[in-house]
Amino acid sequence: MSDITLSATVVVRGKRRVVDGIGFDVPRGTWFGVIGANGSGKTSLLRALAGRLPLAAGICRVDGRDLAADRAARARSFGFCPPADRLPDLMRGRELLDYARCGAVTDHRRLAALWSALGIAELSDRWIGDCSAGMRQRLAIACAFVGGHTRIILDEPFNWLDPVAAYDLRQVLRAMVNDGLTLVTALHDLPVLASACDAGVILADGTVAATLDRKRLREAAVDPQAFERAMIDRLRSGR
């Protein structure tokens, strides 16, 4: 059953349609990857899905309800990772997470592995202004989960992370998805898309250039280099 359904969605920035008629289904308990060139509309699409931008047209069903016209309901429905560089400098990590949970009770048992992968214990008392880009990214990711949402949107979560942290995070996210989490991520890395996601889309100029189902991604995981070559050709051709 689809947890999230987008159909013919349009996002307008200024006078430009940065997302132009995109549609896809995300079943509950799956990891859905969105990949594309810079400026292809990934971030705008995810921000609109999470209510951070208005949808100019289309359908956005979450758990069966069309929330296209209700930004506040979309924002309540998803845990969303705010941009790491815009976190307030004059706050400690734990204070930020306390605000980000918006009054919800944090399920520490459910999040223990994630908190460990993100190193939240070491960041709790640190001023955000003293954090490196990677540390800020970890806190931003934690913000998406701290409210206990079962649907999470992360925009390029592995940016700035060191290889160990990126690997650990990927493993934990996969385990959480297997436990029922619905995860939508924008990615830049085709091998990660092939190895971690259950399904995905490739965006080009605000439209879906290719849809990748579970079968296609399983094949891609067997020969990631061939998959990467094929997808790069597709991105280059803009189709």
Interface with other proteins (CB under 8 A): 12-16, 47, 50-54, 62-63, 71-73, 75-77, 79-80, 82-83, 85-91, 95-96, 99-105, 129, 131-134, 143, 147-150, 160, 162
Cα torsion angle, 111, 117, 118, 124, sign: positive
CA gap 237, 233 in Å, rounded: 6
User: What is the C-alpha separation between 76 and 74, in angstroms, rounded?
Assistant: 5
Nearer to other proteins by C-beta: 38 or 103?
Answer: 103
β-strand partners of 112: none
- Nearest residue (CB) to other proteins, 133 versus 232: 133
CB nearer to other proteins: give 149 or 174: 149
CB of 95 to other proteins, least distance (A): 7
- Choice between 85 and 233, CB closer to other proteins: 85
Q: Smallest gap, in angstroms, from Cβ of residue 164 to other proteins?
A: 13
CA Rg value for the chain: 17
The Cα–Cα gap between 35 and 28 comes to 20
Shortest distance, CB of residue 137 to other proteins, whole angstroms? 11
Residue whose CB is less far from other proteins, 104 or 112: 104
Here the tokens at position 154 are: 């992360």
Least distance (Å) between residue 34 CB and other proteins: 19
Residues 6+ apart with CB under 8 A from 196: 31, 33, 170, 173, 174
Which 3 state secondary structure label does DSSP give 160? Answer: coil
Nearest distance, CB of residue 140 and other proteins, angstroms: 8
- CB closer to other proteins out of 47 and 170: 47
Four-residue CA torsion sign, 201, 204, 205, 211: negative
Return all residues near 90 (Cβ < 8 A) that are at least 6 apart.
Answer: 127, 128, 129
Give least dist CB 4 to other proteins, A.
12
